[in-house]
Amino acid sequence: MIKLKHVNKYFYQGEPREVHALKSIELEIERGEFSVINGPSGCGKTTLLNAIGVLDEITSGEIWLEEREIAHLSPREKTEIRLTQMGFVFQAYNLVPVLTVAENIGFVMRLQGYPAEEIRQRVHELASILQIEEKLDTLPSLLSGGQQQRVAVARAVASKPKIILADEPTANLDSKNSIKLMEMMKRLNEKEGITILFSSHDAYVVENARRVIMLDDGALV
Amino acid sequence: MVGLALKNLSFYKGRSITTFLLTFFSAYFFIVYVAFMDGSHSSMLKNALDVYTGSMQIYQKEYREEGGYDYLINDTQKVFNLLDNTRGIRAYSARVETYGIASSGERSAAMMLTGVDFEKEAKLSELKKALKEGVYDSKGACLYIGSELGKKLQVKIGDEVSFVGSAIDYSFVAELFKVCGTFKTGMYDFDNQSAFMNRDYFDEIFLSRSSASYIVANVNEMEENDRIAEEVAQKLPEDLRVYTWQELMKSMVELMKIDSLFGYISMSLFFLVIFFVVMIYGFINVSTRIREFGVLKSIGLSDRAIDRLLLDEIIILTLAALALAVPLGAYTAYYFEIHPIVIPGMSEMYKQYGVVSDTVPTRFSPLTIGWNAALVFALNLLSILYPMLYVRSFTPVEAMRHV
């Protein structure tokens, strides 16, 4: 489903402080996989995830999603790919501060043009699964870290994307919330068939993943 | 996008209130300022034209270049008939001018003496209203003298003024006049050099019979003046020519243009400041929200949609400010058009600029207010362009990492 061919990423290329963040990455991720990119801090996990999610430019190589090379698309086409095929969960939650929980969860569906009633039903369904029903009219700033992360997950899965990319989703959560989040992601993976790719160095996350992709100093191990 | 824009505006209150107030005050002051500027111009023009010049004048072709008695209009009746048959002409009158030296006691001054038909002038010009002292329409050797010329000659009502000049046949003319009135039009040069007298007596002593230096006319609607002047010009004999007020008062037209130019330059500077303040506030606001835009981009909001969001925000703020500023500015302009501000002594202070009244005139024009508001609207839209380009310059990751 996702294929990376000889992907390189440099920061500050040509400058004295040049960093070779991704070194000739060759990787294939199958549909429905539940994988985690593991490695020490600064090894390039987030950079790799951002590259797969076409959130950032790569220096060279190719990234294929299904039958389409996506790394060299126009910004507009990349936005379209992210909107229609991907869901994102960030370490810092990254919810839209001016929108309520319900609006945040339904935001991507609204961008995709779903009818209001369908959005409402889906928001309630996810809120029920994630146990944040009573917070639907609350602004994100009034939620705890765990609750915000659950909203972020709900937003990522609401429109049923083909793949969810989650960057260190448990980094700001306590162990109880981390376990809850992992169980929920597993359930989504099993029930909805969504391909899930984490970046994490959390031992619990690594233990629960079906596949662990090891990264060290920008290279696959 | 409008819904999200409204939420953003309510969430980032500081920027919203500042932009709203800046837009409101700039639009309000712009409308009022332009109303006062237009008011003073139309008042200057109205004063100048109504007092004496009229909206058009008819001359022998060479008169304005060559001057003198050789280029008088002799068949005035023919022109009168023509004007009578032209729709839109409110009033007309023939005037005949001569130049000479006026003296009283030991004082002398150059003087332009004009023979006028008092009855027709009353309908045409405001000479009657300009009379400060004396009785309008006296007969015989009666002189109506400009207030400044009167001061120069140190004469008052009942005093004698001798005048030396030449008749139409270039014979020598010397006449002793009695001052029957003084007038003040507010046009300093005019009041400093001019005098009037009854046309019949003028014809008698200057032998001008019914000829005229020129015929002056006024129209009912100033907007129609050029068209009517064109119509009159087509009907006139070949040796006569029509001059519109724009040609007759070139210096005043230029003065008004220059005054408008300086007015608009000062307003432009004012707007430039407002524009940059609105842009800086917009930019600061956008800068503090770069992370948020990064998130929106990452979850699938296109650059174009973000542009729309920023545009919607500024449009909502601008329309809200204009919705308040336009009616308020229009009301202020309308109010001061009906109840002009009075500054006692202003006409005396600015008499050389043609200011004849102590009131500060204002012109209420819905069309002008419309373009004033449109300009403020366009400037505000323009002010968001740079912030929009700034947001576009970030990839989603760069934006989310932005501090």
Among A55, A139, A199, most B C-beta atoms within 10 A, so best to mutate, is: A55
As a whole-number percent, the residues of chain B with pLDDT over 70 amount to 96
pLDDT at B354 over 60: no
Among A72, A79, A141, most B C-beta atoms within 10 A, so best to mutate, is: A79
Interface of A with B in 47-86 (CB under 8 A): 50, 53, 55-57, 75-76, 79-80, 82-84
Helix (H) or strand (E) holding A160: none
* pLDDT 10s digits, A34-53: 999 999 888 999 999 999 99
Nearest to B40 by CA among B296, B273, B263, B315: B263
B262 pLDDT tier (thresholds 50, 70, 90):
confident
How many whole angstroms separate alpha carbon B22 and alpha carbon B50?
41
Which pLDDT score, from 0 to 100, does residue B113 have? 94
Which pLDDT score, from 0 to 100, does residue B151 have? 92
More confident position, A213 or B266: A213
* pLDDT 10s digits, B180-229: 999 888 778 888 999 999 999 999 999 888 889 999 999 988 788 899 99
As a whole-number percent, the residues of chain A with pLDDT over 70 amount to 100
List, for chain A, all residue ranges whose pLDDT scores fall below the cut of 50: none
Looking at beta carbons, which residues of chain A come within 8 Å of B297?
A: 79
* pLDDT 10s digits, B116-167: 998 888 888 878 878 888 888 778 889 999 999 999 999 999 999 999 999 9
Whole-number average pLDDT of chain B: 87
* pLDDT 10s digits, B230-240: 999 999 988 89
**B288 in reach of chain A (CB within 8 A):** no
* pLDDT 10s digits, A175-190: 887 888 888 888 888 8
> Are the beta carbons of B20 and B28 closer than 8 angstroms?
no
Domain boundaries, chain B: 2-49+252-401, 62-238
How many whole angstroms separate alpha carbon B171 and alpha carbon B250?
34
